[in-house]
Structure 1
């Protein structure tokens, strides 16, 4: 026979059932606590449980930097001002007799420029090519001629007030690139780049650029670094060091 409860509603209190439910609830809570504690231990020491991933084991230097892959940028030559200029790997060619330069060709940079002879300014510094002709290169005539034993020094502007100039891309040269100088005697001297330096104008490497050399070298100089509007000049110089490695007659 069906049992009826007066007034309807919930069944009367059952002490035995209430105790059983309490025990089950406490057991469930204890189980959850045990699982959470175990997970924390594993996460804090994953290598002890064989869960350490390759990403966790990478050193900081091996992390990707997000940059596009490709050839690394060439490091600029750095040395004390008295250290000789860097030489290319190929053996230098024997020096030639003197002959004034007439044209500078750097095929990689699209440079094909006439050369003007320069001397010293009134303040004792080397003259610079006239800014009115941005494609003009200056050769310091008090040094060696290109192809002659010693350092031939040439200067060119990076830019003018209105446009880029002949040596605006000089910093793009890398070790092994070639530079050609056409001479008055009809011979073209070919120079191979051995190093590129960015030097502060306050600590210009005078000996490295203008010192005597046994081989035929070519040193190209232009401006670099930051433009100082207060004085109207760049803070640094870009210097390319190259050695003659061959020659041919045009």
Structure 2
């Protein structure tokens, strides 16, 4: 086999090789070499790790544990803040609608003597009306009351008769006449056997009224009622109490008595700004211990 002449390989078949009769006439085709891109070696890729069984559950437990610890810390910080600054987090004052009592839910065994320095509390429903040490005077015949005089308080007020309204509650004297006392005409007259009831306002919208200082009366104080028959029924205070209007001591105030007694009633305690009324009543209990004529009382 001979070597191809210079310039014949490539292109062209090797020198001395038979020519394919199917080739077209003309110069032989020029064959261009195919240049392949260089092969760049790739860095080995590490295989992905297999998921560990229960790993998602462990992660969730970690998140929940962290949240629980954070919540406990928040609560502890809040408690420390409230304890260190109680006035900042305290409930708003509601003293305007709170009843005054000697002790929560407690009632005194008897009506107190009243007077400065003595708390006015409500006695138990079974407690009797308090009476003074002086012996009682003999009851008088009925006579309409005319004036009420309380020397200690400087009270000298006219008396009118009052009844009950359509709800069965006692009527009170007109608000525009603060120095006026109402006598409940459904009960005994002052000086007659039984408890006579006199009502008066503590104050009005603009000023104090006839019974504004009623709570200052105490055991042994004197009260006078001038009657239309010319007699003066003299009463001596036996005690003073402050009772809730919701648990008013009806029997102690209106119950029958053997001797002539007197009840002075006004509002007291805490003022409810929502309803516009006091929550309690101040009640003075007295018994008639003497009688006089009008000329001697002047």
TM-score, normalised by the number of residues in structure 1: 0.70
Are 2:128 and 1:84 equivalent residues in the alignment? Answer: yes
**Alpha-carbon offset, residue 73 of structure 1:** 1.9
CA contact (8 A) 1:76 1:195 kept: no
Counting strand residues as a fraction of each chain, which structure ranks higher?
1
Matches within 5 A, 1:54-65: none
**Alpha-carbon offset, residue 165 of structure 1:** 0.1
Q: 1:158 to 1:102 in 2, by over 3 A?
A: same
SS in 1 for 2:158: strand
User: Which residue does the alignment assign to 1:242?
Assistant: 286
Are 2:200 and 1:156 equivalent residues in the alignment? Answer: yes
**Alpha-carbon offset, residue 77 of structure 1:** 6.1
Q: 1:86 to 1:77 in 2, by over 3 A?
A: farther
Structure 2: segments with no counterpart, 5+ residues: 1-114
Cα RMSD of the aligned pairs, angstroms, is 1.3
2:158 aligned residue (114, 123, 130) = 114
2:217 aligned residue (173, 178, 185) = 173
| Cα separation, 2, equivalents of 1:191 and 1:75 | 23
User: Which residue does the alignment assign to 1:194?
Assistant: 238
Matches within 5 A, 1:63-142: 73-76=117-120, 78-142=122-186
**Alpha-carbon offset, residue 75 of structure 1:** 4.5
SS in 2 for 1:246: strand
**Alpha-carbon offset, residue 80 of structure 1:** 1.5
| Cα separation, 1, equivalents of 2:193 and 2:128 | 15
CA contact (8 A) 1:82 1:205 kept: no
CA contact (8 A) 2:264 2:283 kept: yes
Q: 1:138 to 1:115 in 2, by over 3 A?
A: same
| Cα separation, 1, equivalents of 2:183 and 2:151 | 19
The structure with the largest alpha-carbon Rg is: 2
**What count of residue pairs does the alignment treat as equivalent?**
180
**Alpha-carbon offset, residue 78 of structure 1:** 4.3
| Cα separation, 1, equivalents of 2:255 and 2:282 | 17
TM-score, normalised by the number of residues in structure 2: 0.59
| Cα separation, 2, equivalents of 1:232 and 1:93 | 41
| Cα separation, 2, equivalents of 1:202 and 1:119 | 21
| Cα separation, 2, equivalents of 1:97 and 1:77 | 34
SS in 2 for 1:171: helix
SS in 1 for 2:275: coil
**Alpha-carbon offset, residue 110 of structure 1:** 0.7
**Alpha-carbon offset, residue 79 of structure 1:** 2.3
User: Which residue does the alignment assign to 2:258?
Assistant: 214
CA contact (8 A) 1:217 1:244 kept: yes
**Alpha-carbon offset, residue 76 of structure 1:** 3.6
**Alpha-carbon offset, residue 86 of structure 1:** 0.3
Q: 1:232 to 1:72 in 2, by over 3 A?
A: closer
